[in-house]
Amino acid sequence: MNLSSGKGSTSSSPLKTGEAVSDQFPAGLRVMVVDDDSTCLRILERMLSVCLYEVTKCKRAEVALSLLRENKNGFDIVLSDVHMPDMDGFKLLEHIGLEMDLPVIMMSADDGKSVVMKGVTHGACDYLIKPVRIEALKNIWQHVIRKRKNGLKDVEQSGSVEEGDRLLKGCDDGDYSSSVNEGRGSKKRRDEEEEGDERDDSSTLKKPRVVWSVELHQQFMAAVNQLGIDKAVPKKILELMNVPGLTRENVASHLQKYRLYLRRLSGVSQQQGNLNNSFISSQDATFGATSINGIHLQTLAVAGQLPAQSLAKLQAAALGRTTAKAGVSMPLSDQKNIFSFENPRLRFAEGSLHHLSNSKPINLLHGIPTNMEPKQLVNLHQSTQTLGNLNMRVNAPAAQNNPLLMQMAQSQPRGQMLSENADSHVARFPSSLVQPTVQNGISNGVLGNRITGTSNLTTAYNTVPQNSSLLSFPMSQTNEMSVDSFPLRSPPGITSIPTKGIFHEQGTSGIKGPGGFVPSYDMFNELHHQKSHDWDLTNTGITYDSSQHANPLQGNVDVSPSVLVHQGFPCMQQSVQTRDATSIGKPLFSTGEGIHPGNHQNVGQHLNNLVGNSVRVKAETFHDPSSQINNLFSDQYGQEDLVTAFLKQQEGVGPSDNELDFDGYSLDNIPV
């Protein structure tokens, strides 16, 4: 049921609608249940019907996935068995997370700790032990609400961001992760601390987003394939696609997302090494790419590679919405061939992409907003290679085209980085760098719901080819590929502080001054230190840790409270946290990657999966960040009927509890 069709209607009488909705809710919740066991499937179907949910049952995961893809907004939550013959439940979980960002509950007769843990790390909202009792099913709606809430919250945040606020501030991880992408739901990232001050917004004009429809994506894919994955630069892709109204920025951001996805899928161990190299070669001012979204231009500027002016422009661009049609989440249904489990192809792509990232920093710049001067472009070029992944939050000035940042952020390497990061490193990054931007859907995605921070970092890394001094990934610091390569590690030479100065210079450009920067950084550190933070916190904002923690695999892998394990399993937060990445990564790879405990690369890879999976790497969805927000929002309104209305009602009631706290942003602020 669609209770509201848009902001307007929502705001008109939210309470009223909400009340009406809440009376019925959660009745009508659209549940998809997947289980190869007919007996269990039938029983679950019946139980869910008794709970007044709308049930769709599937025996096969592939069928379920295609149903979900065809009907992106047709389901609210998915229940899936773990052991299925045609596809591993965790893999399905991963796909759903990437493509649709729906809450997924895993089920199994297996109550072994490792399996449950795997569910957690892959990002399942919950884990039910069979036989499932109806009482357990009665409460599954909470996961839907939670996700929506987080998503809305992020959107709101994003809105404010776009309005220019926290550019310099580390802002919140929440923005990153949740924001646009899937729109729904990343974990609650809003970190109050990070959000701290809002900056005035300057400009972001909201541009209509490009919706990456199936057809459009197919054209994109055709162009990419024709060019060859390593030669696929946005400009050429755009030309080949020949779609009127599509801009280079749109393509670039989409390409970034795609690459990210590929990288993540193929795991990145070998690339990590390369990335490390390339990163290391960048200047000392390596910032370890924080989240894609959030790389501070300042940082770049500091590195000396980015002239202040460019920085300002970039920032402006980053903030701005991308070109009008920024693509909203792209339906991935047609990407099956890509995403599917075609490893060989991915590997190839991976290899070439890797190559690409190492040797072709240039293409990242294609998305540079047109308002940038050529000279700046040149300047940016070098530094922006790294920027590619950086999502520069531009605070100010014109912000219209975020595309640059977004695109850059969305480079594929991100995916790679995702894999690398996985964890604590993410937290290290100064919040300033991380700046969750709504714009970069991918980065948000990357940040994901779960391990947002990590994902951002990884992404950022990817895009930073050789010279971006700014994006020095921590990798340079350590020899080990694995964790060290995670962008989260702050490179030795770089700290956020220097950027501060630069910021000042750019005052006029609208970039937030150091004030913003520093606090965010502080906040970031703070976040980082707060072990108790859940995923959201660590992930979202934290990609750049300029100096702090050298310990790569620190577990910032907090499991957010929302990832509950059914039947009383403890929230893994603390325990996960301290565990090193290896152990975390391990359970992820039961599907066969074979982690070697000592093998960092694998760990990285696993972590990637960890991140990707659990985080629901938004990157995968290839959303254009800016458009995502809008899109996200309208999607939510359109489809989410009950949930949205319910949430709205909650909001109307006031932030009485944490979950419903919108941080002062009303839903109206969310751009639609």
| 456 lies in the site for another protein, by CB under 8 A | no
DSSP-derived pairing of the beta strands 30-34 and 54-58: parallel
The nearest distance, CB 90 to another protein, in angstroms, is: 15
Choose between 128 and 442: whose C-beta lies nearer to another protein. 128
| 110 lies in the site for another protein, by CB under 8 A | yes
Choose between 132 and 610: whose C-beta lies nearer to another protein. 132
Which listed range, 45-53, 143-151, 371-379, 620-628, lies at the site for another protein (CB under 8 A)?
Answer: 45-53
Kindly write out the interface string for residues 199-218 of this chain, putting x where it contacts another protein by CB under 8 A and - elsewhere: --------------------
> In a 10 Å sphere around its CB, with 0-12 CB exposed, 13-18 middle and 19+ buried, how is residue 205 labelled?
middle
Question: Which residues, 6+ apart, have CB-to-CB distance to 39 below 8 Å?
Answer: none
The nearest distance, CB 255 to another protein, in angstroms, is: 40
Which listed range, 34-42, 57-65, 298-306, 495-503, lies at the site for another protein (CB under 8 A)?
Answer: 34-42
Choose between 132 and 518: whose C-beta lies nearer to another protein. 132
| 27 lies in the site for another protein, by CB under 8 A | no
Where helices occur in 360-473 by DSSP H, the ranges are 374-389, 403-409, 413-421, 424-428, 431-434, 441-447, 452-463
The nearest distance, CB 605 to another protein, in angstroms, is: 24
Task: Please give the span between the terminal C-alpha atoms of the chain, in angstroms, as a whole number.
Answer: 20
Question: Which tokens belong to 102?
Answer: 């729906």
Amino acid at 549: H
* 131 upstream amide cis, omega within 30 of 0: yes
Which listed range, 6-14, 46-54, 89-97, 194-202, lies at the site for another protein (CB under 8 A)?
Answer: 46-54
Within a 10 A sphere around the Cβ of 80, how many other Cβ atoms? 27
Question: Which residues, 6+ apart, have CB-to-CB distance to 309 below 8 Å?
Answer: 376, 506, 509
Are 432 and 521 within 8 A, CB to CB?
Answer: yes
Q: Is 226 left (phi over 0), alpha (psi -120 to 50) or beta?
A: alpha
Are 180 and 626 within 8 A, CB to CB?
Answer: yes
Q: How far apart are CA 630 and CA 406, in angstroms?
A: 15
In the list 1, 20, 43, 67, the residue contacting another protein (rule: CB under 8 A) is: 43
**Nearest residue to 582 (alpha-carbon basis) of 599, 558, 557:** 599
In the list 15, 27, 46, 508, the residue contacting another protein (rule: CB under 8 A) is: 46
Which listed range, 102-110, 473-481, 517-525, 564-572, lies at the site for another protein (CB under 8 A)?
Answer: 102-110
Name which of residues 131 to 170 contact another protein (CB under 8 A).
131-134
Which listed range, 43-51, 55-63, 72-80, 622-630, lies at the site for another protein (CB under 8 A)?
Answer: 43-51
Which listed range, 87-95, 117-125, 130-138, 504-512, lies at the site for another protein (CB under 8 A)?
Answer: 130-138
Q: How far apart are CA 243 and CA 253, in angstroms?
A: 16
Which residue is it, tokens 């399905």?
Answer: 92
| 422 lies in the site for another protein, by CB under 8 A | no
In the list 15, 27, 50, 63, the residue contacting another protein (rule: CB under 8 A) is: 50
| 114 lies in the site for another protein, by CB under 8 A | no
Kindly write out the interface string for residues 68-87 of this chain, putting x where it contacts another protein by CB under 8 A and - elsewhere: -------------x-x----
Question: Which tokens belong to 44?
Answer: 């679950």
DSSP-derived pairing of the beta strands 564-565 and 77-81: unpaired
In the list 63, 109, 222, 378, the residue contacting another protein (rule: CB under 8 A) is: 109
Q: How far apart are CA 611 and CA 45, in angstroms?
A: 31
Which residue is it, tokens 């919706």?
Answer: 211
| 39 lies in the site for another protein, by CB under 8 A | yes
In the list 16, 42, 113, 596, the residue contacting another protein (rule: CB under 8 A) is: 42
| 108 lies in the site for another protein, by CB under 8 A | yes
Choose between 82 and 317: whose C-beta lies nearer to another protein. 82
Site residues (vs another protein, CB under 8 A): 36-40, 42-43, 46-47, 50, 81, 83, 108-110, 130-134
